[in-house]
Chains A and B, each alone.
Chain A
Amino acid sequence: MSVLRVEKAVYDSIRSHGEETYPHECCGALLGHNTAEGWSIEASVKAGNTRTDSAHNRYQIAPGELVKIEREARGQGLSIAGFYHSHPDHPAQWSQTDLAEAHWLGCSYVITAVAKGVAAQTNSFRLAGDTEENKRFELEQIEVHEPVSK
C-alpha cells in the first residue's frame, strides 16, 4: 500500500476547505515530490469549483486554472501530486463519477467527508494503472507529519 505523507498544516487546510464550502464540494490541488513509497505533499492550492450547476455533488477545476497552478508548482520546485475534494454528507469514498473523471495516473486523490458542516474522515486513493482502460483507485495510507526543518 502506498503512503501519502502530508504536512499537518496542509492536511488541516484541505479539511477545513471542505467546511468552508459546505454544503458544496470544495476542490484543490496538492503539490509535492514523488518518493518510492508515494507522494510527499508540501502544499495545497485551493481551486474554484466550476460545477456551479451541481456543486453539492460535483466538482471540476478549470484547466486554465491548472495551467497557473502547475506554473506556480514549477516555481516552487514541486509537482502536482494530486487533488483533493470534499463529499458533503457523503462518505470519503471514491464514486464511479470520481473514477470516470480521474485521468491523473499515478497521482493521489484525497477525499474528505464533511458531515453537517464538520470535516470527518479523510481518505486518499492513488490512481493506479497505466491507461484509461486499466485505471483504478487504490486506497493509500495517509501519514500526517509536522513540517520538516529545511
Chain B
Amino acid sequence: MTIFIPTPLRAFAAGKDAVEVNAGTIAGALDELTQAYPDLRKHLFTSEGRVRAFVNIYLNDEDVRYLPAKDATAVSSSDTLSIIPSIAGGC
C-alpha cells in the first residue's frame, strides 16, 4: 500500500512524497514506514508510542481515529494512508 508523505516530513523520508509498504494493518504500515525511515518516528509519535496529537492519519478518506478498529484496521494493497499535520491558527 502507499503512504503519502506530507511536505514537512519528506526531508526525513529521503525526499520521498510516497512510500510503498507491505503491511496488514494501519499500525503495521506505520511501523514499517518508521523502520525504513527512523527519523520520521519522533515527528509522528510521542515517546510513549502514541501518534502525536497534531498528526492526522487518514485511511483513504477516513480519519483513523474514528475507525472502529482504529490503527488495528486491516488494510489492502489498494488502500492509501495520508499523513496530514494539522493546520490552524489565528490572530
A interface vs B, CB < 8 Å?
25, 27, 51, 54, 57-61, 63-64, 66-68, 70, 74, 79-81, 83, 85, 87-88, 90-91, 94-95, 97-98, 101-107, 109, 127, 130-131
Contact = CB atoms under 8 A, between A and B. Distances in A.
Interface residues of B, number: 23
A64 B87 contact: no
A51 B87 contact: no
Interface of B: 4, 6-8, 11, 17, 42-43, 54-56, 58, 61, 63, 82, 84-91
A83 B82 contact: no
B63 A63 contact: yes
Contacts of A80: 6-7
Given A64-B63, A67-B82, A131-B42, A101 B7 contact: no
A54 B89 CA distance: 11
Contacts, number: 92
Among A60, A91, A104, the most chain B Cβ lie within 10 Å of the Cβ of A104
Contact of B17 (A79, A83, A102, A131): A79
Given A64-B58, A104-B8, 13 more contacts: A51-B88, A51-B90, A60-B86, A70-B82, A74-B4, A80-B7, A87-B90, A95-B90, A98-B90, A101-B87, A103-B85, A104-B87, A127-B8
A104 B7 contact: yes
A101 B61 contact: no
A98 B89 CA distance: 4
Contact of A63 (B7, B42, B56): B56
Contacts of A97: 89-91
B63 to A, nearest CB: 7
